[in-house]
Every structure is written in C-alpha cells, then in structure tokens.
C-alpha cells in the first residue's frame, strides 16, 4: 500500500512551460505542418511538463501516444476532469487527486442513467458506461428540454454541454479547471509557468481558473463569449497547435 501521495513529476526540474492542453481541436488541431512544428519544439526542450486535459478516456490516449511523433504527456486529466492518470506509472490512476471526485460522484452511474432514460434529445454514448465518475450523452440542442437540465442539477450533479453535441453529467463542482488547479496545488507547480489551452465549452473552467490560458482560433463561439476579457486569457488567431505556439510566445514561455 502506498502513502496515497502522488509522485512529484520530475523532482528538481525547473519548468519553463507546463502545458495543460485539451486534445480535439486544440493539441490535435491545426494543419499537419503546424502539429509537427509544435510537437518538435516541445520535444527539443527539457523544461516542459505536458498534461493532457481532455474529455477523452484513457484507452483513447493510450492509442494516441503510441503513434509516431506524438508527444507523451506525464499526466492525463481525463473524462472532463473526473479522472487523473500518471502516464509514467503505466497510466495508473492518481488516487490522491481522484479521491474528492470519487466521493462526490458516489458510484452514481446507474442512478444517472436510470434518471435520464427516455429524456428527449439525449442519446447515451456507447462507451459511457465504463467511465468511472461521469455519464456522457450526445444531445440535440433543439430537442433538449430545460427541465431535463434542472432534473440533473436538482439531483446534485453538474450538467455540461459543449460543441452543440456533447452533454456530460459530472460530480458537483468537478470539471477540467478544478482538477487542474488541484494538481497544480498538490505538486506545488509554478503557476506562472502554466499555460492552459482549449477550444470548447468544456474547457471554460480550465481557461478561467486564474492560470495563463489560450482559447485557440477555432474556439467555439459560446466559449469565447463566456470568457472574460483578462490579460491572462489570450485569444489566438492560429488554430489548434498554431494557436498554442502563438500563446507560448505571447506569454514568453519559450524557455532559455
């Protein structure tokens, strides 16, 4: 049995950049040339801590990082902030960072699916059942009813919609932003070196949690409208990887 305290990432490293990035449309966005350029630049540096912060599950990321030239993160904040994995420990869950998530969720998968069965505009994602601390649906904006959202919230959960396609039922108060902040605080990472990057509404809490952030050029309009105008939140022109690289330069996180 371990102490329950997660291993510190690369103890002694002086990080010049801690990149906490969404995947689809962000780290996997932009042209092939723009992706190669960003990935190469990250690979050439020895002062980067890479964290994937995504709605994707760990099986998808295992396959992703097995691809040639794909950078490998040290940590994954997955499933819209409801899971945390240490890639260096063979993708083991970081229980110390998941404990509060698990407590708030309280094995609610079956109860949530039963509560929302037959609700108009919702279709359960086929792979949603194995998710440990959330239930995910496809939704139709013109069919989803406001009382369905109220039902979810009155039952003690958060409801998150993004990209006019995805609806996630999450533990109350859990999302990408709070989980990323918990990781930064737990590891005592230098906050001024963190750059959060995203493009859809499920990135809102991450981009608006007080850290340096970039909404890349292809961001969802709802996200751009919801983000405050603040000096630590950059709206890039470049899409996907080009937007991340643009923000790295904007915030002067290019390293020595």
Average model confidence (pLDDT) across the chain = 92
Task: Please provide residue 36's backbone torsions phi and psi, each rounded to the nearest 5 degrees.
Answer: -60, -40
- pLDDT of 128 > 50? The answer is no
- Select from 174, 180, 70 the least CA-distant residue to 131: 174
The pTM of the full predicted model, rounded to 2 decimals, is 0.90
The confidence score (pLDDT) of residue 11 equals: 62
In order of start, what are the domains of the chain with their CATH numbers?
A: 17-101+174-250 (3.40.50.1000), 104-171 (3.90.1070.10)
pLDDT of 71-93, one tens digit each?
Answer: 999 999 999 999 999 999 999 99
The confidence score (pLDDT) of residue 2 equals: 42
């Amino acid at each position: 049995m371990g102490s329950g305290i997660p291993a510190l990432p690369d103890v002694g490293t002086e990080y010049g950049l801690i990149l906490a990035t969404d995947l689809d449309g962000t780290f996997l966005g932009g042209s092939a040339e723009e992706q190669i350029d960003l990935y190469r630049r990250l690979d050439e540096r020895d002062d980067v801590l890479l964290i994937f912060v995504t709605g994707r599950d760990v099986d998808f990321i295992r396959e992703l990082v097995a691809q040639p030239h794909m950078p490998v993160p040290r940590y994954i904040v997955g499933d819209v902030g409801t899971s945390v994995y240490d890639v260096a420990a063979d993708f083991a869950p970081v229980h110390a960072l998941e404990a509060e998530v698990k407590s708030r969720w309280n094995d609610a998968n079956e109860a949530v699916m039963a509560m929302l069965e037959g609700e108009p505009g919702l279709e359960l994602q086929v792979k949603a059942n194995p998710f440990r601390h959330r239930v995910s649906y496809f939704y139709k904006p013109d069919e989803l009813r406001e009382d369905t959202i109220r039902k979810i919230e009155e039952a003690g959960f958060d409801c998150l919609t993004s990209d006019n396609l995805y609806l996630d039922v999450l533990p109350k108060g859990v999302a990408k932003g709070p989980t990323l902040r918990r990781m930064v605080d737990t590891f005592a990472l230098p906050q001024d070196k963190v750059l959060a990057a995203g493009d859809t509404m499920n990135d809102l809490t991450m981009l608006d949690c007080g850290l340096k952030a970039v909404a890349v050029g292809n961001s969802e309009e709802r996200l751009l409208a919801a983000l405050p105008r603040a000096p630590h939140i950059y709206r890039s022109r470049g899409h996907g990887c080009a937007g991340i690289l643009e923000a790295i330069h904007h915030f002067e996180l290019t390293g020595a």
